[in-house]
Amino acid sequence: MRNKRKILIEGKKLWDEDFEGIQLAKSKKRFIIIRTIIFFCFFVVFVRLIVLMVFDHEMLSQKAEKQYQSTKILKAKRGSIWDREMRPLAVNIETDSLYAVPSQIGDTKKLSSQLAPLINVSVEKLNEKFLSKKDKSFIWLARRMDEETSQKVDKLKNDLKLKEIDFLTETKRFYPNGHVAAHIIGYTNIDNEGLNGIELKYDKYIKGKVKKVDIGKDARGNSLSEGTEDNVHGDNLILTIDGNIQNIVEREIENAVETWEAEAAVAIMMDPNTGEIIAMANRPTYDPNAVGDSDADKRRNRAITDVYEPGSTFKAFVASAAIEEKIVSLNEKFDVSRGFIKIPGGIIREDHRHGVLTFTEVIQKSSNVGAATIGIRLGKERFYNYVKKFGFGDKTGVDLIGEVRGLLRDPQHWSGRSLPSMAIGQEIAVTPLQVLRAYSAIANGGKLMKPYIVSEIISQSGESVKKFSPEMEKKVISENTARTMRGILKTVVEEGGTAQRASIMGNLAAGKTGTAQMIDPKTGRYSKDNYVSSFVGFVPADNPKFALIVVVYKPRGARYGGVVAAPVFKKIVENTLVYLNVPMEKEQNYVYLVSNSN
């Protein structure tokens, strides 16, 4: 029994030991398996991390960027336009634009009937637009509405709880001075793109560049970059124009058109020493805030687009050439007592009979016979060369759209009467700006300057993008000749001259009148009723601050430049001298009552 028990005890012990061994072996195996699994998992994670961090890094970065950033295309706000004293001429204002979601519109006829009268379109046209765009999620209904229209539409939207229409804020071009300087500034279309004037000429600067920006988003997709649009702007322009002088010029030519029941009028003021355009005005005119209310005739800048025969204002260039070539002396006598001169194919007559005139008096009294005689003495080659030197037959290069060259034929195409006719301002077509520039060359000592209107382009931050400086194109006549001509042109405004009505209180003026017949388009001959009356001059005569031309088309009741245009010159100049605080040179006033003169 004892042995049997001993065997059982030892057997149990062996079994327990075997069991423990088996258990230990199993635990060890389990540990190895678990450890292997853990290592494998770590290996898989490690490999995945390598793939994500190395191989898929760029792709995932881009994906994340798309989730938390978006690219937005921003159209720049149009730059402003200022006059030389930084007074605004063209700015931007915020307006409401109306859009619709056609796919959400149920009853198109009903909505059209409610909305059409408010946005000034026909019900049929609006309904047709809704139906044709039925599957669209966005269409414009009215762009850049005025405040009154916007309020009416907003009331309708709120009263009827319309969700199919809504507003977007857009900037609109606004011209605070209305028609003032309209032909210089120009205007834009509905998308704020320049269509005329400075707005078109410098459109690439003013409109700015389209910009792509990255907009950050939060977890809900909301933008984290509000106001980014406010940082995108086009460049600003500073003009040579003085807004106050521009107002003076426009007021006076408006009065002239009314007084003489004229068809049109032009006035341009320029600094003869630099070529800066100080003012440029036209009648008829228009309001660039309501371009649709005007026709093309009112929007045309006649100062650079319309040509006319200059008449007697052209005699100053014949005289300048004769002095420069030393073929006349100031006291040389010209017998014009017959009142006419025979030329090949016809006769040139005087408007007023004279006797024997000195060279100076030929210009002072605007003798056609005397000027024709001087022109013939010059000869066609020399005459033509000086006319070209003074810039006729070529564009002035002013920074505006639509300038024409005028008409100056080559001498080989002239007839026998062309030279004497051109000497009195016929058989040649010019623009008002061409004439003013040529007179400025006499005023400044013989330099033909390039006229310009923009003085500087500056960025929104105030940095200079581009500056424009005076540019002399050529030397036309000598300083001595220019000085002599200034003295002669002073006599035109004094007693005995044709432009006594252009004399200025306290300051000597110099200039020349012009009275030119217009061509009758029906007959092809000179009209007996329609004239262009003009005066061009500079002040003060001996040290000019500005040159000014006034041109009045088809005046009624009078035709001579000394009667129609010279008084307009006087009023503009006197007001401008006061504004600029130019000191008087003398106390007496050179104003006389005279008979009609050309």
User: How far is C-alpha 339 from the geometric centre of its chain's CA atoms?
Assistant: 48
Angle of helix 315-324 relative to helix 380-389, nearest 10 degrees, comes to 110
Whether residue 284 has a cis bond before it, omega within 30° of 0: yes
Q: Please, where are the H alpha helices in 178-277?
A: 182-185, 197-201, 203-206, 243-260
CATH of 72-239, one of 3.90.45.10, 3.40.30.10, 3.90.1310.10, 3.40.50.970: 3.90.1310.10
In angstroms, the CA 362 to CA 360 distance is: 5
* Active-site residue, from 312, 320, 440, 503: 312
- In 175-240, DSSP assigns E strands to 211-216, 236-239
pLDDT in tens, 280-291: 999 999 999 999
Residues 502, 566: contact at Cβ < 8 Å?
yes
Backbone torsions φ then ψ of 417, nearest 5 degrees = -95, -5
Specify whether 312 is catalytic. Answer: yes
Relative to beta strand 139-145, strand 165-174 is unpaired
In angstroms, the CA 412 to CA 285 distance is: 40
Amino acid at 337: S
Beta bridge partners of 447: 475
Where are the chain's structural domains? 72-239, 243-286+300-580
In angstroms, the CA 72 to CA 85 distance is: 37
C-alpha closest to that of 311 among 534, 54, 99, 516: 516
Per-residue pLDDT of the chain (598 residues; tens, 9 = 90+): 555 555 545 555 554 555 566 666 666 777 777 777 777 777 777 766 676 566 666 665 666 555 555 555 567 789 999 999 999 999 998 888 888 888 888 888 888 888 989 898 888 888 888 888 888 888 888 888 888 888 988 888 888 888 888 888 888 899 999 999 999 999 999 888 999 999 999 999 999 876 655 555 545 555 444 444 555 789 999 999 999 999 999 999 999 999 999 999 999 999 999 999 999 999 999 999 999 899 999 999 999 999 999 999 999 999 999 999 999 999 999 999 999 999 998 899 998 889 999 999 999 999 999 999 999 999 999 999 999 999 999 999 999 999 999 999 999 999 999 999 999 999 999 999 999 999 999 999 999 999 999 999 999 888 999 999 999 999 999 999 999 999 999 999 999 999 999 999 888 999 999 999 998 888 888 898 999 999 999 999 999 999 999 999 999 999 999 999 999 999 999 999 999 988 887 655 444 444 445 6
Residues contacting 186, CB < 8 A, separation 6+: 194, 195, 196, 197, 198, 199, 200, 201, 288, 401
In angstroms, the CA 431 to CA 302 distance is: 8
Task: Determine whether domain 243-286+300-580 maps to CATH 3.40.710.10.
Answer: yes
